[in-house]
A = this chain, B = another copy of it.
Amino acid sequence: MHSVVEILSVGNELLLGNTVNTNAAWIASQVTSAGSEVGRMTTIGDNLGDISCALKESLRRHPDFLIITGGIGPTFDDMTLKGVAKGLGRRTRLNANAVRLIRSHYARRFKGRSLRLTKPRMKMARIPEGSVPLHNPVGTAPAVRLTLGRTQVFCLPGVPSEAKAIFLESILGRILTKARGRSYVERWLRISGLMESSLAPIIDRVMSHTPGIYIKSHPRGIENGRSHIELHFSTLAPSQSVGIQRVSKAVGEMKKELRARAVRVGRCTEAPWGASRVRSSV
């Protein structure tokens, strides 16, 4: 069984279409590279009912990790921690460690000058009962970790630099541990001169010869009457070497099939196997 991650993004700005959800894509890319799978991404607004519902729905699907971003800051509409508590029938409580993290953040930032812990600042230290605050290396609001049955829940800030820093510091290691050496391997091939509908049976054939491989075609438009398609080969394998073997075999078979049809084949990207990956924003 693969380990499964769900991502829940909280923020009206996402539903307004003012902000493109790059956080979810970044986290998904990290999770995939770490040998786990993202099962679902959900985006909801800043309101208690939706946060509590979405949390309960996700927990019913029993992912290994639920990563929530957004809504843990000092303003009135930062209500993720209250929403999570509501979903669990718990309360939020002032957490002494969270207060310490906030205090030391301000002390670092203002070089020792002490800052009054006003109500909005203390709000960031009120976390659901049974949860643990996590160090935020970039901003003020501590992140939060909770274990609920088999699911580890993390609440991160929505500010991308903060979400990324906390993910790398406190979450990635746990995901890698859970993946137990499974490796994601992918490769892209750019082809031109074949329509997606003509490619479909070839994909079926190559996939039937290379079990464990997933091949997805991404149409990238038509230029001078020629279709351009990017073909994505990927696998989640028990080890990196198995993954590389699988992908290489599939890519090789595909190239042979395509050349027999005089289709122009180009290497789209030669990302280093495994770790670093290629992102395309369409």
Query: Interface residues, chain A, CB within 8 Å of chain B?
Result: 12-22, 24-32, 37-46, 50, 57, 73-77, 118-121, 123-124, 139-140, 159-161, 186, 195-201, 203-204, 207, 214, 216-219, 221, 232, 234, 277-282
Contacts of A196 in B (CB 8 A): 73-75, 140
Further 8 A-B residue pairs, CB within 8 A, beyond A16-B29, A17-B30, A74-B197:
A18-B279, A20-B22, A24-B43, A40-B43, A75-B200, A75-B203, A76-B207, A124-B197
Bound CA–CA A278/B19 (angstroms): 10
A7 to chain B, nearest CB (A): 8
Q: Which residues of B contact A20 (CB under 8 A)?
A: 20-22, 25, 279, 281-282
Residues of chain B with a CB closer than 8 A to A123's CB: 200
Asked whether A118 and B28 contact (CB < 8 A) given A18-B232, A18-B278, the answer is no
Sample (15) of A-B pairs whose CB atoms are under 8 Å apart? A12-B214, A14-B25, A15-B40, A16-B32, A17-B27, A18-B278, A18-B280, A19-B280, A40-B44, A41-B43, A75-B196, A76-B204, A118-B197, A119-B201, A120-B197
Q: Which B residues are CB-close (under 8 A) to A139?
A: 219
* Given contact pairs A140-B197, A197-B121, A277 touches B37 in the complex (Cβ within 8 A): no
Which residues of chain B come closer than 8 Å to A218, judged between CB atoms? 13
Q: Is A41 within 8 A of B42, CB to CB?
A: yes
Do A221 and B161 form a contact, CB below 8 Å, given A75-B196, A197-B140, A216-B77? yes
- Check if B17 sits within 8 Å of A29, measured CB to CB: yes
> Which B residues are CB-close (under 8 A) to A15?
28, 32, 37-41
Tell me, rounded to whole Å, the shortest Cβ–Cβ distance linking A234 to chain B: 7
Query: Is the beta-carbon distance between B41 and A28 smaller than 8 angstroms?
Result: no
Closest residue of chain B to A43 (Cβ to Cβ) is B41
Say yes or no: A28 contacts B14, CB within 8 Å: yes
The answer on a CB contact under 8 Å between A16 and B42 is no
Q: Given A15-B39, A43-B40, A282-B22: A75 and B199 within 8 A (CB)?
A: yes
Are B28 and A16 in contact, CB atoms less than 8 angstroms apart? yes
